[in-house]
């Protein structure tokens, strides 16, 4: 069922896979696997939780009614994944854990726009981070704080350049949180409050944020529990950009 590896990041290798019904998928596995299958499953569960939370936030971001706004904010999408245990003779114990997601036909270039430390990932000479994606990160902070009392933010924004419907297919989100009790709950890419603050320090609200009412320092300060000095610092940086 598993086919050749086609990509390898810092933490995961990715292979094509075909399901029994013929559906084409991608299967991600941990690069430095532990000997116990349960440990590998637990680590992939963190990735899956991050992806599920990102799906939920994306649904709210995409829905003008849910946002109480008639202005479309563009569209972002995260795939629905699941964890599969696959028999592999060469693996210790004979079984390997994979996070399996639908395969995306690559009709455009793969790109990372925002890193998991909150910094911008675009290289010199490349176009700026699309305003709608930066707004999605800001929205995730406010939305999760105000609707679910979760002190989290979605970062590590990466995926395909938008298709003709302006739809961004994104994958592999990182959930940063300032809650130390859940630091490993969403996997190892969580860099905590410093990443969230770093994003805000370089983020400038554009038309999408304004349409969503995110350009409000009080809401942002409450969501991340910012000090007055930090709010002033963010404003200073924005003013100089």
Binding site for Zn ion (CB under 5 A): 138, 205, 209, 214
Q: What's the per-residue H, E or C state across the chain?
A: CEEEEEEECCCEEEEEEECCCCCEEEEEEECCCCCCHHHHHHHHHHHHHHHHHHHHHHHHHHCCCCCCCCCCCCEEECCCCEEEEEECCCCHHHEEEEEEEECCCCCCCEEEEECCCCCECCCCCCCCCCHHHHHHHHHHHHHHHHHHCCCEEEECEEEECCCCCCEEEEECCEEEECCHHHCCCCCCCCCHHHHHHHHHHHCCCCHHHHHCCCCCHHHHHHHHCCCHHHHHHHHHHHHHC
- Shortest distance (Å) from residue 47 CB to Zn ion: 26
29/138 with CB nearer Zn ion: 138
- Shortest distance (Å) from residue 234 CB to Zn ion: 11
51/220 with CB nearer Zn ion: 220
40/75 with CB nearer Zn ion: 75
- Shortest distance (Å) from residue 106 CB to Zn ion: 30
- Shortest distance (Å) from residue 72 CB to Zn ion: 17
48/209 with CB nearer Zn ion: 209
- In the complex, which residue's CB is closest to Zn ion? 209
């Amino acid at each position: 069922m598993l086919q050749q590896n086609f990509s390898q990041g810092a933490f995961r290798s990715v292979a094509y896979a075909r399901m029994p019904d013929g559906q084409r998928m991608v299967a991600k596995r941990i690069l430095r696997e532990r000997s116990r299958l349960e440990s590998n499953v637990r680590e992939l569960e963190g990735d899956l939780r991050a992806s599920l939370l990102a799906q939920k936030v994306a649904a709210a971001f995409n829905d003008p009614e849910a946002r109480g706004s008639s202005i479309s904010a563009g569209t972002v999408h995260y795939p629905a994944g699941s964890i599969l245990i696959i028999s592999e003779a060469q693996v210790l114990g004979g079984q390997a854990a994979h996070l399996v997601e639908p395969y995306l036909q690559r009709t455009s270039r793969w790109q990372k726009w925002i890193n998991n430390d909150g910094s911008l990932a675009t290289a010199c000479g490349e176009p700026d981070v699309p305003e709608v994606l930066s707004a999605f990160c800001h929205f995730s902070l406010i939305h999760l704080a105000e609707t679910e009392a979760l002190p989290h933010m979605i970062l590590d924004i990466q995926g395909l350049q938008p298709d003709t419907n302006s739809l961004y297919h994104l994958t592999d989100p990182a959930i940063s949180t300032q809650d130390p009790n859940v630091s490993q709950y969403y996997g190892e890419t969580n860099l905590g409050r410093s990443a969230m603050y770093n994003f805000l320090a370089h983020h400038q609200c554009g038309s999408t944020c304004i349409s969503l009412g995110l350009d409000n320092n009080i809401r942002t300060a409450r969501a991340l529990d910012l000090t007055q000095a930090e709010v002033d610092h963010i404003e200073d940086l924005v003013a100089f950009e």
